Structure 1
Amino acid sequence: MTSLKDRLQRGKDARQQCPRSSQAGPGDIDRDPLPLIEASSKGRVKSLVQLRYGRMLVSPFTFYRGSALLQAHDLAGTQNMGLSLPICGDCHLMNFGGFATPERNLLFSVNDFDEAHPGPWEWDLKRLVASFLIAARDLRHGKGVEESVCLDVVRSYQKTMARCAEEGALDVWYDAITYQDLLEQAEAKSTFEHVEKAIDKAQRRTHAQLLPKITERDRQGRLLIRDDLPEIFHLHKNTSLLDASDDWMKLNNWHPLYNTFMKDYRMTLQADRREVLSRFKVQDMAFKVVGVGSVGTRCLVALLTDDQQKPLFLQFKEARRSVLAAYVGSKSKVRHQGRRVVEGQRLMQSASDLFLGWTTGPTGRHFYVRQLRDMKVSAELENFDATTFNAYARICGRALARTHAKASGLAGPISGYIGKSDALSEALLKYAQAYADHNERDFERFQKACRQGRLQARSEADFAADHLP
């Protein structure tokens, strides 16, 4: 059994090989972004790749959100202290938010684990800090806020990790950030109002509230998911955006796909949750486009109802190889990509979705499963003033530190490495400034490639116009 002093010293010793000032380097950025962007699009639904590029074209910030592979490549050329632990892998500020526990409590934490993989903790923190600076530029908050949010993220991470280093394993494991905590800690009226609004919104984001928004009844009275191109469409109707040659189009309808999913999925749930699921019957299934970076990967939503016609929406989301896999020395012990995502989420979150599990599609693709929308809320950055934006930076830094500490049990060495000074926060501010500049140059090259036709980009309006009556 090592003492806290020994664990902290292990981190301090790592500074000899990796000085905190060295973390300022932007990494392996002497490369062309276009081949990496094209590589990240392989295996996606071809027509939806155009939509992905259209969403990335909106701003340098949306480009950053959709290009996790680029930063993973670049981070491989940066210094780190030598620890490998479970990390999020795509830790930008929009991948944090509120979600419901199985007990219907509202928590705040990292909420996207598609790229979860063993790797250096610094990679998550660097992606998060850079995302705050890029978002601050996008929102035109000014250089003062750009700098302060970056420093606030790292200082909050530093402070929380130091606290975790002194806590027992179960204290770290059970700790959670509730929205009541956020209300009590809000230092400004504007921040308090944003938290209150998020709580109210989360309470309204239930399956019952979603039902009338995305469903309708056909002439026979059957409850069906409503097509809403390009966001939602059925696989085997004239509104489908899948290619005619797609292997899923060889199926007569969605039922074989659903039945294959459910066969494996049920066994990844606890027995009591399988029992609850057995009380629902499927009514319909459709393709749903989500996010920025995920656009073009396969995601389906199934509508199920119980005997009282109360709904349950399950989301089946494709899990591909993590963008980190090619760039970190450590390998994931889990071969099923859906299981990798689920186990990463269960390990890193304080509590996870009641129906979180994994499965395999009829042609071998890997998926993970969760409830759609259930009390999930994200930050509305465009409505944040500078005070609220800084408060959000601090809560994200706190949440990430808790995530890393819970998943690894290595809070002591990490805290020892960071220390009590601003050495790391100042280094990561320099990193974020350099990487934000580089992201803008990548964005310009991406824009040019779209203008010249090397990459095809289309907006939501373009897709909708194609299917006007």
Structure 2
Amino acid sequence: MTSLKDRMQTGKDARKQCSRGSQASTGKMSRDPIPLIKASSQGRVESLVELRYGRMLVSPFTFFRGNALLQAHDLSSTATMGLISPICGDCHLMNFGGFATPERNLLFSVNDFDEAHPGPWEWDLKRLAASLVVAARDLRHGDSVEESVCRDMIGAYQATLLECAEQSSLENWYESISYTDLLAQARKTTLEHVQRAIEKAEQRTHAGLLPKISERDKHGRLVIRDDLPEIFHLHNNSTLLNAEDDWLRLSDWRPLYEMFMRDYRGTLQPDRRELLSRFHVQDMAFKVVGVGSVGTRCLVALMTDDQEFPLFLQFKEARRSVLADYVKGKSPVRHEGQRVVECQRLMQAASDLFLGWTTGPNGRHFYVRQLRDMKISAELETFDAETFAAYGRVCGRALARAHAKASGQAAHISGYIGKSDALADALLTYAQSYTAQNERDFERFQLACRKGRLRARSEADFTADYLP
């Protein structure tokens, strides 16, 4: 056994091979972003790739959110202290938020794990820092706010890692950030935002979602309502799948659903399988999600119990992580859905009641979770400088907790960071430099779309093209 002091010293010793100041480097940036953007679109539903690019064209911030592969490529040439453990992989500030635990408590944490993979903890922290500066600049907060928000986040990460280093393994495992805690700690200017988030979460239940996306058909059966380009049925005239798509060879959605459920049930705990057995499927449709995920396959199943109370399950395609080609660490599992689920369970204090994985036609991998159940994200456009800084701090705390729980190496990371501002200084320089690079990449992306190298369509144009 080694003492806390020894573990902290091991982290401190890592500065000899990777100084904290070296973390300011953005790495080798002599690359054309367009081939990497194209590579990240491979294997997606072809008609939706144009919508993906359209969403990325909205601003430098949506561009940054929409292509995690680009920064993964860039981070691969930067220095790290050498510690490899499960990380989020796409750790921007909009991939944090509120969600319900199985006990119906509302927690705040990292909440997107599509790109989760073993990797350097610095990559998550750098992507989060860059996203804060990109967003602050996009929202015209000014240079002083960009710096303070970034420094506050890193300071919160630093302080929380030290707390985690001094805690027992069980305390690390069970510790969480609840909205009750956030409410108690909120200052006057942020109190309203926290209260509004809690109220919104309480309304985001399956019962509340039912009338918004479903209706009765002419036979009185509950079905999901088509709403292009967000939701469509696979085999109706509204489908956005290409005519030669292998899913269209199926008679309807039921064979697809049965294939999903066959493997999925076995990934749940026995008590949760029993609960799932009390629901009966009514309908299933394709749902377009997010910015970076647009074009990946995602389906929603509407299920009801014997009293017609609903459960919405989301089957989301799990593709190879964008980190996989750039890190030395390998995922211990080969199923991409299992990779997402196991990383999520490791990094969150509690996870979705129905979180599991499965395999679809042609060997595509999926993970499964509830749709929208008490899930909430930040409304950045409504944040003043103080609220934005408070949000950055809680993201820093949440990321530190996730890294400490997943790695079991909080003392090593904390020893490396130390108590000074050395890492904060370096990461602020990194975030500002990468924000400038992101703006240059965005301009090249805009030009590629204008010149036809990439085809992009806005939400409105896309909808108009497919509506009868």
Deviations along 1:170-192, whole A, 9 cap, x unmatched? 001000000011011112x2211
Partner of 2:149: 149
**Residue 450 of structure 1 aligns with which residue?**
449
Displacement of 1:340 in angstroms is 0.1
**Contact 1:179-1:195 at 8 Å conserved across structures:** yes
Contact 1:347/1:407 (8 A) holds in 2: yes
Partner of 1:320: 319
Distance 1:459 1:274 in 2: 41
- Give the 3-state SS of the residue equivalent to 1:363 in structure 2: helix
2:420 is the counterpart of 1:384: no
Tell me the amino acid that sits aligned with residue 24 of structure 1: A
User: Partner residue of 2:110?
Assistant: 110
- Cα shift at 1:352: 0.3
- In structure 2, C-alpha distance between the alignment counterparts of 1:30 and 1:350, rounded to whole Å: 40
Confirm or deny: 8 A CA contact 2:285 2:299 kept in the other structure.
yes
Letter aligned with residue 12 of structure 1: K
Taking the aligned partners of 1:340 and 1:413, their CA distance within structure 2 comes to 25
For structure 1, the 5+ residue unaligned runs are none
Give aligned pairs, total. 468
> What secondary structure is seen at the aligned counterpart in 1 of 2:159?
helix
Deviation, structure 1 residue 468: 3.3
Partner in structure 2 of residue 71 of structure 1: 71
Provide the residue aligned with 2:139 in structure 1: 139
CA-to-partner distance for each residue in 1:155-182, whole Å, 9 max, x for gaps?
1000000010000000010000000110
Instruction: Report SS of the residue matched to 1:177.
Output: coil
- Which residue in the other structure is 1:92 paired with? 92
1:398 maps to what in 2?
Answer: 397
Kindly provide the CA deviation profile for residues 345-375 of structure 1, in whole angstroms up to 9, marking residues without a partner as x: 0000000000000000021100000000000
How many Å apart are 1:59 and its aligned residue? 0.2
Q: How many Å separate the matches in 2 of 1:290 and 1:152?
A: 31
Give the TM-score taking structure 2 as reference length.
1.00
2-structure distance, mates of 1:465, 1:11:
56
Does 1:166 find its partner at 2:169?
A: no
The answer (yes or no) to whether the contact 2:172–2:401 under 8 Å persists in 1 is: yes
Say if 1:236 and 1:253, in contact at 8 Å, map to a contact too: yes
Give CA-to-partner distance per residue, 1:306-335, whole Å, 9 cap, x none: 000000000000000000000001100100
**Is residue 2:16 matched to residue 1:16?**
yes
Per-residue Cα deviation, 1:199-225 (whole angstroms, up to 9, x for no partner): 000000000000000001111101100
Q: Is residue 28–residue 73 contact of structure 1 (8 Å, CA) maintained in 2?
A: no
Matched with 2:31 is: 31
State the distance in 2 between where 1:86 and 1:306 align. Answer: 37
Structure 2: segments with no counterpart, 5+ residues: none
Deviation at 1:28, TM superposition (A): 2.3
What pairs with 1:296-311 in structure 2 (closer than 5 Å)?
296-311=295-310
CA distance in 2 between partners of 1:85 and 1:415 (Å) = 15
One-letter identity of the residue aligned with 1:152: D
Letter in 1 for 2:467: L
> Equivalent residue for 2:125?
125
Cα contact 1:121–1:404 (8 A) shared by 2 = yes
In structure 1, distance between residues paired with 2:420 and 2:384 = 28
**Alignment RMSD, CA only?**
0.5
Deviates further, 417-426 or 24-33 = 24-33
Cα separation, 2, equivalents of 1:79 and 1:372: 38
TM-score, normalised relative to structure 1? 0.99
Counterpart for residue 278 of structure 1: 277
- List 4+ stretches of structure 1 deviating above 6 A: none
What one-letter code is carried by the residue in structure 2 that aligns with 1:241?
Answer: L
Alpha-carbon distance in structure 2 between the residues aligned to 1:395 and 1:56: 26
